[in-house]
Amino acid sequence: MHDLEFIGVRMEMPSNTPIVLLKEVDGARVIPIWIGAVEATAIAYAQQGVVPPRPLTHDLMKDILVAVGATLAEVRIAALTDGVFYATLVFADGVEVSARPSDAVALALRLEVPIRATPEVLEEAGVEMPVEEEDEDEVEQFRAFLDEISPEDFQE
Protein backbone atom coordinates (compact mmCIF):
# COMPACT_ATOMS: atom_id res chain seq x y z
CA MET A 1 0.00 0.00 0.00
CA HIS A 2 1.12 3.52 -0.78
CA ASP A 3 0.17 6.42 1.48
CA LEU A 4 -1.52 9.28 -0.34
CA GLU A 5 -1.88 12.93 0.51
CA PHE A 6 -5.07 14.74 -0.40
CA ILE A 7 -4.03 17.70 -2.57
CA GLY A 8 -7.46 19.10 -3.31
CA VAL A 9 -10.23 19.36 -5.82
CA ARG A 10 -9.48 21.08 -9.11
CA MET A 11 -11.58 21.88 -12.14
CA GLU A 12 -10.56 20.30 -15.44
CA MET A 13 -10.80 22.75 -18.28
CA PRO A 14 -12.63 23.27 -20.59
CA SER A 15 -15.29 20.82 -19.38
CA ASN A 16 -15.39 22.24 -15.81
CA THR A 17 -15.33 18.71 -14.41
CA PRO A 18 -14.09 18.40 -10.82
CA ILE A 19 -11.08 16.19 -10.17
CA VAL A 20 -9.75 14.93 -6.84
CA LEU A 21 -5.96 14.93 -6.74
CA LEU A 22 -4.19 12.45 -4.48
CA LYS A 23 -0.38 12.51 -4.34
CA GLU A 24 1.80 9.67 -3.15
CA VAL A 25 3.55 10.70 0.07
CA ASP A 26 6.92 9.18 -0.82
CA GLY A 27 7.01 10.09 -4.49
CA ALA A 28 5.96 12.46 -7.23
CA ARG A 29 2.99 10.61 -8.74
CA VAL A 30 -0.50 12.07 -8.54
CA ILE A 31 -3.72 10.13 -9.03
CA PRO A 32 -6.44 12.25 -10.68
CA ILE A 33 -9.97 10.98 -10.09
CA TRP A 34 -12.86 12.62 -11.95
CA ILE A 35 -15.87 13.13 -9.67
CA GLY A 36 -19.29 14.76 -9.71
CA ALA A 37 -20.08 18.32 -8.66
CA VAL A 38 -22.03 17.30 -5.54
CA GLU A 39 -19.18 15.07 -4.37
CA ALA A 40 -16.69 17.86 -5.07
CA THR A 41 -18.73 20.17 -2.87
CA ALA A 42 -18.86 17.61 -0.06
CA ILE A 43 -15.08 17.17 -0.23
CA ALA A 44 -14.47 20.92 -0.38
CA TYR A 45 -16.70 21.46 2.65
CA ALA A 46 -14.68 18.90 4.63
CA GLN A 47 -11.39 20.37 3.48
CA GLN A 48 -12.43 23.90 4.43
CA GLY A 49 -14.15 22.92 7.69
CA VAL A 50 -17.53 24.19 6.52
CA VAL A 51 -20.36 22.95 8.72
CA PRO A 52 -23.70 23.06 6.88
CA PRO A 53 -26.86 23.87 8.85
CA ARG A 54 -27.99 20.26 8.42
CA PRO A 55 -25.65 17.30 7.96
CA LEU A 56 -24.80 16.26 4.43
CA THR A 57 -24.68 12.54 3.66
CA HIS A 58 -20.97 12.21 4.54
CA ASP A 59 -21.50 14.08 7.81
CA LEU A 60 -24.34 11.68 8.60
CA MET A 61 -22.12 8.70 7.79
CA LYS A 62 -19.45 10.05 10.12
CA ASP A 63 -22.00 10.62 12.90
CA ILE A 64 -23.38 7.08 12.51
CA LEU A 65 -19.90 5.51 12.66
CA VAL A 66 -19.04 7.51 15.77
CA ALA A 67 -22.40 6.71 17.40
CA VAL A 68 -22.04 2.95 16.92
CA GLY A 69 -18.35 2.94 17.83
CA ALA A 70 -17.11 1.76 14.43
CA THR A 71 -13.55 2.90 13.75
CA LEU A 72 -12.60 3.58 10.17
CA ALA A 73 -8.91 2.64 9.94
CA GLU A 74 -8.18 3.72 6.37
CA VAL A 75 -9.57 4.41 2.94
CA ARG A 76 -8.08 2.48 0.04
CA ILE A 77 -8.14 3.34 -3.62
CA ALA A 78 -8.28 -0.34 -4.39
CA ALA A 79 -8.74 -0.85 -8.11
CA LEU A 80 -9.01 0.74 -11.52
CA THR A 81 -11.06 -1.24 -14.02
CA ASP A 82 -12.00 0.06 -17.48
CA GLY A 83 -11.26 3.61 -16.36
CA VAL A 84 -13.41 3.36 -13.22
CA PHE A 85 -11.81 3.70 -9.78
CA TYR A 86 -13.00 1.58 -6.86
CA ALA A 87 -12.38 2.32 -3.19
CA THR A 88 -12.65 0.33 0.00
CA LEU A 89 -13.44 1.51 3.51
CA VAL A 90 -11.29 -0.55 5.88
CA PHE A 91 -12.50 -0.72 9.48
CA ALA A 92 -10.37 -1.45 12.54
CA ASP A 93 -12.14 -4.79 13.07
CA GLY A 94 -11.11 -5.94 9.56
CA VAL A 95 -14.47 -5.35 7.88
CA GLU A 96 -14.15 -3.89 4.38
CA VAL A 97 -16.90 -2.04 2.53
CA SER A 98 -16.81 -1.09 -1.15
CA ALA A 99 -17.28 2.62 -1.89
CA ARG A 100 -16.95 5.20 -4.61
CA PRO A 101 -13.60 7.01 -4.26
CA SER A 102 -15.31 10.38 -3.94
CA ASP A 103 -17.41 9.15 -1.00
CA ALA A 104 -14.39 7.43 0.55
CA VAL A 105 -12.27 10.58 0.33
CA ALA A 106 -15.07 12.76 1.73
CA LEU A 107 -15.39 10.39 4.68
CA ALA A 108 -11.61 10.08 5.17
CA LEU A 109 -11.29 13.86 5.41
CA ARG A 110 -14.09 14.09 7.97
CA LEU A 111 -12.69 11.27 10.11
CA GLU A 112 -9.04 12.18 9.51
CA VAL A 113 -7.99 8.68 8.44
CA PRO A 114 -5.22 7.74 6.00
CA ILE A 115 -5.88 7.41 2.30
CA ARG A 116 -3.87 4.70 0.56
CA ALA A 117 -3.62 3.16 -2.90
CA THR A 118 -2.67 -0.27 -4.08
CA PRO A 119 0.60 -0.48 -6.04
CA GLU A 120 -1.40 -1.51 -9.12
CA VAL A 121 -3.59 1.60 -9.03
CA LEU A 122 -0.61 3.88 -8.51
CA GLU A 123 1.25 2.18 -11.35
CA GLU A 124 -1.67 2.43 -13.78
CA ALA A 125 -3.16 5.81 -12.85
CA GLY A 126 -0.27 7.68 -11.24
CA VAL A 127 0.96 10.62 -13.24
CA GLU A 128 4.37 12.06 -12.44
CA MET A 129 3.98 15.76 -12.10
CA PRO A 130 5.17 18.42 -9.77
CA VAL A 131 2.24 19.73 -7.75
CA GLU A 132 2.58 23.48 -7.92
CA GLU A 133 0.85 26.17 -5.96
CA GLU A 134 -2.84 26.45 -6.71
CA ASP A 135 -3.61 28.08 -10.01
CA GLU A 136 -5.57 31.22 -9.16
CA ASP A 137 -8.02 30.83 -12.07
CA GLU A 138 -8.97 27.31 -10.99
CA VAL A 139 -9.38 28.39 -7.37
CA GLU A 140 -11.58 31.31 -8.37
CA GLN A 141 -13.76 29.12 -10.60
CA PHE A 142 -14.24 26.59 -7.83
CA ARG A 143 -15.04 29.33 -5.32
CA ALA A 144 -17.59 30.76 -7.76
CA PHE A 145 -19.14 27.29 -8.05
CA LEU A 146 -19.34 27.03 -4.26
CA ASP A 147 -20.86 30.51 -4.03
CA GLU A 148 -23.66 29.49 -6.39
CA ILE A 149 -24.81 26.48 -4.40
CA SER A 150 -26.54 26.28 -1.06
CA PRO A 151 -27.53 23.50 1.33
CA GLU A 152 -31.05 23.70 -0.11
CA ASP A 153 -29.64 22.40 -3.41
CA PHE A 154 -29.15 19.06 -1.67
CA GLN A 155 -32.68 18.70 -0.35
CA GLU A 156 -35.05 16.37 -2.10
The pLDDT tens digits for 92-129 are: 999 999 999 999 999 999 999 999 999 999 999 998 87
- What is the sign of the dihedral through the CA atoms of 33, 37, 39 and 42? positive
The pLDDT tens digits for 17-70 are: 899 999 999 988 999 999 998 899 889 888 888 888 888 899 999 999 999 999
Per-residue pLDDT at 149? 59
Does the pLDDT at position 134 exceed 90? no
Per-residue pLDDT at 110? 94
- Vertex 145: Cα angle to 142 and 151 (nearest 5): 125
**Which residues, listed in sequence order, are joined to residue 19 by a DSSP beta bridge?**
10, 34
9 vs 147 pLDDT, higher one: 9
For residue 30, the domain's CATH number is 3.10.690.10
Per-residue pLDDT at 146? 58
Domains in the chain, number: 1
Alpha carbons 156 and 32: distance in angstroms, whole number: 30
Per-residue pLDDT at 2? 95
Closest CA to 79 of 34, 21, 118, 105: 118
Containing structural domain, residue 116: 2-154
- Statement: the pTM of the whole predicted model exceeds 0.95: no
